[in-house]
Structure 1
Amino acid sequence: MKRARLVPPLALVAAVSVAATACRAPAAQDTADGPRTASAAVDYNPQPYDKLKDGGTYTTAGTFDDQGNPFHVNATLTAARVWAWYNADAITYTPTGGVRYNPDYYSDVKVTVDGGHQKVVLTLNPKATFNDGTPIDWRAIEATWKANNGSRKEFGAASTDGYDRITAVDRGKDAKQAVIRFRGVNPAWPALFSTFLHPKAATAGNFNTAYVKKAHPEWGAGPYTVGSWDTHSGNLSFVRNPRWWGKKGKLDKRVYVNLEPTAAVNAFKNGQLDYVSAVDAESLEQLKGLKGTEIRSGGSPFEYALNFNTRSPILADKAVRKAVVESVDRPQIARIQFQGLDHKEPLPGSAVLYSFQKRYEDNVAAVLKYAPGQAPRTLDAAGWKPGPDGIRVKNGRKLEIGYTLLGDDPLGKATAGALAAMLKPAGIHLVVKKGDDADFAKILNEHRFDLILSGNRSMDPFGTRYLCDFYCADRDSNLTGAGTPALDKAIRATAGLADLGEQARAVNEVERKALAQYAFLPLFSGPSTYGVKKGLANVGATIFLSPLPETVGWQK
């Protein structure tokens, strides 16, 4: 669908017992003692539909998001995952990013280019119908485009890229055919219509607020629909949809139970859950060897980064941001994350592409250098002078920077302590400010932070189309607020390049310019590692693959 914003990195396998001390990077190339390419391995017990039992329940830890519309800027990964269980999964991907059209929604897809402009003709399945009886036809495609193309600012769209290059969505030979016309060529167009909105959900009011802590199963479609949605407990479930026209879901019920990560591991051990993320080295050890359990681990389309709020008075100074970047020992942060685990990875070098993808370049290493000896000189030149307590001062103001720490997990505390130790020699005092996990989206969206660690998960392989979401100064999705009109123009120019190779070269060049704003520092990705009950099929580490809900179930 899109890049989905992640909650803090509790879903990663990570260490909880590590000294919060800074140390010098061991290698000049800024690697994390690992391979040059991240793992693209998958591990999810792939099974065909006819090899699955009919019936059963699949239960995991989870809950719904404050904003349940995944097209909205305030939505996180949770919204995308919940949405997929009761709304259209019209386009999915193979683990390596190959495009798959779901014939239950799109019975035919034709893409042509004439005069340098692309036309996509989507023929929708005659049986495709929203749960309220509204036909899924060209108007759903049109409504999704209009809500996300940026022409109406009252829509809080997460990403307008690609939608803003569509010049028209028209009715084709009949209502069940949508003709989409682009200005130029957009090779990443499948990411725009992997799911879609009910036309009633595409008014500004409904787009922004209808899904806030609510589900609208009547506007959904698919093999499952909402069974229960408990706003008090946060629990929810999905059951087979009697209005579904395709192969029925193999499961009787899909259940989410609202549990904290550590409680989830205990619930899995007690047989209450069928699948759980290994949240730290200790929990992974608890899951290993557990009767009837498999550990499934593979590559990860996740990335966590340190975001600098350039709107805050202290970080409006580019020299301060540069000194912070020069002080942060990324390999040490990676070692904190993966202490005690059999996991090594290269440090992430881009916000939009992963090292296992074609055309990836390490733009971070080319621009953002770990240079703790240079950081004091950077601050000296900007007029920040050492104070008697070692904290630098300028115009009577101490160089104190807030770091928002969400939750109480030991890993988060260790990371905060390590960052404080890294910044101290330069004369920067890191003030750790505690926040509640539940306020994560609000803290980001209202920019109530100086520094914060947050992440993104790629829901599709077309990473280059998200360059503007990360770096354009006028985008709400750009958490840092950094950028310039000239940079925005250069970023947007990359979207008009039809050749993927040419586009990637331009994106890499522009991203290096964007990183030179010293406002965004990729830190780590981590593995996707899970404890899974044996026999559960099509669940686990999948990279870009999102198995269709009707294919998830228990192996015969």
Structure 2
Amino acid sequence: MRKPWSARAILAPVVAATLIGTAACSGSSGTTTNQAAPPPKASENQINPKSRDQVKDGGTLTWALSGFPANFNYYELDGTDVDASYVNLAMMPQLYNYEADATPVWNKNYLASEPVLKTDPKQVVTFELNPKATWNDGAPITWEDLYWQWKSTSGADKAYNISASNGYENIESVAKGKDDHEAIVTFKTKYADWQSLFTPFYPASTNKDPKTFNAGWQKSPLKTTAGPFKFDSADATAKTITLVRNEKWWGDPAKLDKIVFRAIEPNAQVDALANGEIDFVDIGSNVDAYQRALKISTAEIRKAAGPNFRHLTINGTSTVLSDVKVRQALAQAIDRTAIAKALTGPLGIDPKALNNHIFMSNQAGYQDNSGDIGKYDVEKAKAGLDAAGWKLNGDTREKDGKKLEINFVIPTGVKSSEQESQLVQNMLAQVGAKVKINAVPVDDFFDKYVTPGNFDMTVFAWIGTQFPVSSAKSIYANPTKNAKGELDIQQNYARVGSPELDTTFNNATAELDKTKAATLANQADAQIWQEVHSLTLYQRPELIATKKDLANFGAKGFASVIYENIGFVK
């Protein structure tokens, strides 16, 4: 889910974070190979596509989540994880859907015509909303819903605890057009990825009050929705959320009767699939789970490329890691290629370290910006720590009486996190840094540890969007103070940034020429490497084990999930 937004989920304009570490894969076979394979093309996916007349009417899809979301508002800081996004996108309006190659396609369920873009003298986009589109409480969807989505997420009002202001901060106004169904969006600065905005958007009533925005979605999803499914019930104790077919939906009716989301520890999900308790699982880079999934006679493995990667986030406000020289030295002590080999090699994947925070290796724009920081060199790491004043005393370095001890927080039940943290622990021990691995409950991982900064290092996956440059911005933006005087990090869990980096990102997102924008984005990436905000580890395409008869669903890559078309083959 970049959480969002290149986050913790696949949504624009932010990204989403996820806890499951899946490995890269390629081809259509469900078997491993001894020959290492590069990441598949970015436009490839496997969802068992079927026409609607080939799909049964009715049935229940049981969907495994890695945890029960802390907040179901995807735009709120605690809500931008991939699990919350999966629930929301079944119920909420999205102005655009995306094809397998990331091409945006305007959504006829919510738009009456293709949006009109003008760029001179100012960038102006006119959205004509579908007059048939209504919230399930009977209220029409109007320009005011877009207006309040902008007002709540622009970052101007610090009372809103937002996860990102990407794109919305560029808007000057959202105004009524010829009628209530026409919205005219005027930008104060150009924004290339304008098609990422308002996907999803919510009822104006939920965005007018910051308290409702921040806390109104903490126990369950919103009851006022406008999608093929609607909210039915949530049970935080049983960790389930149930959605049912929305009888007021004006588009093609959902094939499924209901979707039941169940939070299950990631390491237990393959067994749940084998036992018929769930219908699919993102199996991760757990080789044992992969091999067990291959043996499930009723299941198959679907594969796709995706803008997803595992990474190591380093807390720049940590007492032992606040010095950039220390972060640089420790980065050089971590053999990222060895980590990639350990996690993806057993699956037959070419074990290469990822050397870009914005573009994946199979995306246009990718280049290696890691420089000396990304090169594994134990002797340079030792020299760097010496120069920073951390002197070896026995097995562990010290400075001013303080030991170089690192609190490495991981979620329980995530095999990839366990492996990665142990590898880093062994590597940093070679240069005199003692890593203490702290496994915490999966439901608390982001809410109580990552978001408030209660860690020195951590590891998870960013799941990106179809807009790699703009979606990355909130992850690396320089943190500012909110209305309470607290640090507003958006998605910058490392709390590392600079005004110079912000300027580079702003220039990149304002550049309408894709080649020039990519050049600026790579300049930003080079700055990220030097600041050692985080270390990219390896690319994480999708590897999904799913029941064979599940249609229009699976390893989607860049494509949108069309929830009303999901079902079981006749």
Q: TM-score, normalised by structure 1?
A: 0.91
Distance 1:139 1:371 in 2: 56
Question: Which moved further from structure 2: 378-387 or 3-12?
Answer: 3-12
Native 8 Å contact 2:62 2:260 kept in 1: yes
Match of 1:26 in 2: none
Question: Which moved further from structure 2: 321-330 or 475-484?
Answer: 475-484
Query: Does residue 380 in structure 1 map to residue 394 in structure 2?
Result: no
Distance 2:288 2:560 in 1: 28
- One-letter amino acid of the counterpart of residue 272, structure 1: E
Change (3 A) 1:50 1:186: farther
- One-letter amino acid of the counterpart of residue 500, structure 1: K
- Deviation string for 1:345-366 (max 9, x for gaps)? 5422222222222222222357
Native 8 Å contact 2:42 2:101 kept in 1: no
Q: 1:481 aligns with which of 491, 495, 505?
A: 495
Match of 1:106 in 2: 111
- Deviation string for 1:12-32 (max 9, x for gaps)? 259xxxxxxxxxxxxxxxxx9
Change (3 A) 1:313 1:42: same
Match of 2:301 in 1: 295
Native 8 Å contact 1:116 1:184 kept in 2: no
Distance 2:101 2:197 in 1: 19
Query: Does residue 191 in structure 1 map to residue 196 in structure 2?
Result: yes
The Cα shift of 1:11 comes to: 4.9
After superposition, the CA RMSD in angstroms is: 2.2
Native 8 Å contact 1:470 1:479 kept in 2: yes
Q: 2:20 aligns with which of 10, 22, 45?
A: 10
Q: 1:332 aligns with which of 316, 338, 348?
A: 338
Native 8 Å contact 1:13 1:281 kept in 2: no
Native 8 Å contact 1:33 1:346 kept in 2: no
Q: 2:122 aligns with which of 114, 117, 132?
A: 117
Give the 5 Å matches for 1:150-165.
150-165=155-170
- One-letter amino acid of the counterpart of residue 171, structure 2: I
Distance 2:150 2:562 in 1: 24
Q: Secondary structure at the match of 2:379?
A: coil
Match of 1:57 in 2: 60
The Cα shift of 1:414 comes to: 3.0
- One-letter amino acid of the counterpart of residue 124, structure 1: L
Distance 1:102 1:341 in 2: 37
Q: 1:265 aligns with which of 246, 270, 274?
A: 270
Match of 2:291 in 1: 285
Match of 2:445 in 1: 440
Change (3 A) 1:467 1:209: same
Native 8 Å contact 2:314 2:534 kept in 1: yes
Distance 1:200 1:549 in 2: 25
- One-letter amino acid of the counterpart of residue 478, structure 1: N
Match of 1:425 in 2: 430
Match of 1:523 in 2: 537
Change (3 A) 1:511 1:192: same
Native 8 Å contact 1:37 1:345 kept in 2: no
Native 8 Å contact 1:118 1:184 kept in 2: yes
Distance 1:134 1:413 in 2: 48
Match of 1:213 in 2: 219
- Deviation string for 1:381-417 (max 9, x for gaps)? 2222221x13222222222222113215554333222
Change (3 A) 1:7 1:112: closer
Native 8 Å contact 1:401 1:450 kept in 2: yes
The Cα shift of 1:250 comes to: 0.7
Change (3 A) 1:311 1:320: same
For structure 1, the residue ranges without an aligned partner over 5 or more in a row are 15-31
Query: Does residue 407 in structure 1 map to residue 417 in structure 2?
Result: no
For structure 2, the residue ranges without an aligned partner over 5 or more in a row are 9-15, 25-34, 480-488
The Cα shift of 1:132 comes to: 1.3
Distance 2:183 2:376 in 1: 51
- Deviation string for 1:251-292 (max 9, x for gaps)? 111122232223322222122222122242222222214223
Distance 1:136 1:457 in 2: 29
Distance 2:42 2:144 in 1: 41
Q: Secondary structure at the match of 2:155?
A: coil
Q: 2:71 aligns with which of 67, 71, 86?
A: 67
Change (3 A) 1:450 1:320: same
Distance 1:553 1:267 in 2: 19
Q: 1:254 aligns with which of 243, 255, 259?
A: 259
Aligned residues: 536
Q: Secondary structure at the match of 2:348?
A: coil
Q: Secondary structure at the match of 2:77?
A: coil
Distance 1:408 1:64 in 2: 14
- One-letter amino acid of the counterpart of residue 331, structure 1: T
Distance 2:181 2:274 in 1: 49
Change (3 A) 1:510 1:413: closer
Distance 1:168 1:551 in 2: 36
Match of 1:23 in 2: none
Distance 1:179 1:39 in 2: 33
- One-letter amino acid of the counterpart of residue 341, structure 2: R
Match of 2:29 in 1: none
Q: 1:534 aligns with which of 541, 548, 552?
A: 548
Change (3 A) 1:510 1:496: same
- Deviation string for 1:483-516 (max 9, x for gaps)? 2233333332333222222111111112201220
- Deviation string for 1:111-148 (max 9, x for gaps)? 33242422111111111001111110101111111111
Match of 2:51 in 1: 48
Q: Secondary structure at the match of 1:340?
A: helix
- One-letter amino acid of the counterpart of residue 358, structure 1: A
Distance 2:185 2:395 in 1: 61
Q: 2:327 aligns with which of 321, 332, 344?
A: 321
- Deviation string for 1:270-315 (max 9, x for gaps)? 2222212224222222221422322112223211211111111110
Match of 1:355 in 2: 361
The Cα shift of 1:479 comes to: 1.1
Query: Does residue 453 in structure 1 map to residue 459 in structure 2?
Result: yes
Native 8 Å contact 1:467 1:507 kept in 2: no
Q: 2:509 aligns with which of 458, 470, 495?
A: 495
Question: Which moved further from structure 2: 156-165 or 57-66?
Answer: 57-66
Distance 2:44 2:350 in 1: 13
- Deviation string for 1:99-121 (max 9, x for gaps)? 01111101113333242422111
Distance 1:157 1:409 in 2: 27
Q: 1:169 aligns with which of 171, 174, 178?
A: 174
Q: 2:137 aligns with which of 118, 124, 132?
A: 132
Query: Does residue 178 in structure 1 map to residue 183 in structure 2?
Result: yes
Q: Secondary structure at the match of 1:284?
A: helix
Q: Secondary structure at the match of 2:377?
A: coil
Q: Secondary structure at the match of 1:355?
A: coil
Distance 1:212 1:260 in 2: 21
Distance 1:517 1:362 in 2: 16
Q: TM-score, normalised by structure 2?
A: 0.89
Native 8 Å contact 2:61 2:258 kept in 1: yes
Change (3 A) 1:301 1:115: closer
Distance 1:36 1:535 in 2: 26
Q: 1:344 aligns with which of 347, 350, 363?
A: 350
- One-letter amino acid of the counterpart of residue 321, structure 2: L
The Cα shift of 1:174 comes to: 0.5
Native 8 Å contact 1:401 1:431 kept in 2: yes
Native 8 Å contact 2:39 2:362 kept in 1: no
